[in-house]
Amino acid sequence: AKEPVRVLVTGAAGQIGYALVPMIARGVMLGTDQPVILHMLDIPPAAEALNGVKMELVDAAFPLLKGVVATTDVVEACTGVNVAVMVGGFPRKEGMERKDVMSKNVSIYKSQAAALEKHAAANCKVLVVANPANTNALILKEFAPSIPEKNITCLTRLDHNRALGQISERLNVQVSDVKNVIIWGNHSSTQYPDVTHATVKTPAGDKPVRELVVDDAWLNTEFITTVQQRGAAIIKARKFSSALSAASSACDHIRDWVLGTPEGTWVSMGVYSNGSYNVPAGLIYSFPVSCKNGEWSIVQGLSIDEFSRKKLDLTAQELSEEKELAYSCLN
Ligand code: NAI
């Protein structure tokens, strides 16, 4: 039998946490043959609710779930974890300045970085979900210098999956037959959902999305804005932000990272830029990546046309500004 893997979920008493922990306990994230021990962290005001989630996990009698740690102590939460999914953060409230929200999250990610660096298992894989996701991940990386930068990522898989969903609806094809969309940049409304290299599996072989969706105007405008603004549309409809889709895509992100992407397929992940595609090095930026043997690598050599270039640069610009704002909060 396999040794259990310890998975940390921060903000576990929140909405995404409530959708995510049962998926992890059912093997959606790491496979249905992989036992897990869940570590759940939240803050003291949410301690009672967190304990309620723990009670439900016990009640669900998940065969793969070998233990649950529910705590408000960051050191206890981080100790020995192999995978860390960082969902906890400070939400933007009405009337708050961007800088104030950034400052709260910078201090949260700074201290949680230190705890992970000291207490997590060697080679722990980190996924930051909480917004501003890219910049929180960057702060975490800066304050956990001994965790390899390739182990620190942020979630743009939800945006990636949203793009697949939009193409599948438009063409009336199975979502599983659509592949190789790309989300470039920030998990924000400046992200660039790119279909230039995307294909659909048809009885006559793989066909470019651009060939099947005859309407270029739709692909260059409405498709992009729909994906960029999908989060806001969900809030408007549900009165709460995306939770089940966020949780599901967090599982997709970790599963593909650990178990690999199929040959010829890539996914989108926010990772530390090495300057690929002329994206400034030192930002956490969403790129197309393929994964093998537990490591991601940026897919190289894709052509970037002029339309795309502008959009890649615009979202990089926003991330540079966020980075500056985050650093100004440190002083
Ligand atoms: P929520 O407000 O329901 O839950 C957040 C939880 O984090 C709360 O239980 C809160 O007590 C906890 N928390 C706050 N500070 C903490 C700290 N220092 N340590 C541990 N826990 C802490 O929010 P929800 O809907 O679950 O969303 C969580 C985050 O995910 C938000 O920042 C949201 O913007 C982000 N998000 C990101 C997406 C992505 O694709 N990257 C998609 C959807 C949401």
Closest-CA residue, ligand 1 atom 4, reads 14
Class of domain 5-154: alpha beta
Interval 16-31 mean pLDDT: 98
- Supply the pLDDT for residue 98: 83
What are the pLDDT digits (tens) for 280-311?
Answer: 999 999 999 999 999 999 999 999 999 999 99
As a whole number of angstroms, the distance between CA 195 and CA 208 comes to 9
What share of the chain in percent tops pLDDT 90? 95
The answer to whether the CB of 243 is under 6 A from ligand 1 is: yes
**In this predicted model, which residue has the larger pLDDT, 43 or 1?**
43
- Supply the pLDDT for residue 165: 98
CA angle 261, 7, 143 (to 5 degrees): 90
127: three-class secondary structure by DSSP: strand
- Supply the pLDDT for residue 308: 98
Q: Is 187 a catalytic residue?
A: yes
Contact between 30 and 20 (Cβ < 8 Å): no
Fold of the domain built from segment(s) 157-323: L-2-Hydroxyisocaproate Dehydrogenase; Chain A, domain 2 (3.90.110)
The answer to whether the CB of 158 is under 6 A from ligand 1 is: yes
Mutating to test ligand 1, I would choose from 8, 10, 15, 16 the residue with most ligand atoms within 8 A of its C-beta, which is: 16
The answer to whether the CB of 246 is under 6 A from ligand 1 is: yes
> In whole numbers, what is the pLDDT of the chain averaged over residues?
97
For residue 153, give the DSSP letter. E
- Which ranges in the chain are annotated with CATH 3.40.50.720? 5-154
Sheet with 178-179, strands from edge to edge, namely: 178-179, 199-202, 205-208
Pairing of strands 267-272, 5-10: unpaired
Contact between 182 and 276 (Cβ < 8 Å): no
- Which ranges in the chain are annotated with CATH 3.90.110.10? 157-323
Interval 21-48 mean pLDDT: 98
What share of the chain in percent tops pLDDT 70? 100
Distance 243 CA to ligand 1 centre (A): 10
What are the pLDDT digits (tens) for 211-220?
Answer: 999 989 999 9
The answer to whether the CB of 252 is under 6 A from ligand 1 is: no
The answer to whether the CB of 88 is under 6 A from ligand 1 is: yes
Atom of ligand 1 lying closest to residue 108 CA = 18
Distance 17 CA to ligand 1 centre (A): 8
Contact between 235 and 241 (Cβ < 8 Å): yes
Contact between 83 and 6 (Cβ < 8 Å): yes
State the pTM of this model: 0.98
Atom of ligand 1 lying closest to residue 49 CA = 9
The answer to whether the CB of 155 is under 6 A from ligand 1 is: yes
Interval 198-223 mean pLDDT: 96
Selected catalytic residue, list 39, 160, 187, 253: 187
Q: Looking at the predicted structure, is the pLDDT value of residue 331 above 80?
A: no
Distance 12 CA to ligand 1 centre (A): 8
Q: Looking at the predicted structure, is the pLDDT value of residue 323 above 90?
A: yes
- Supply the pLDDT for residue 275: 98
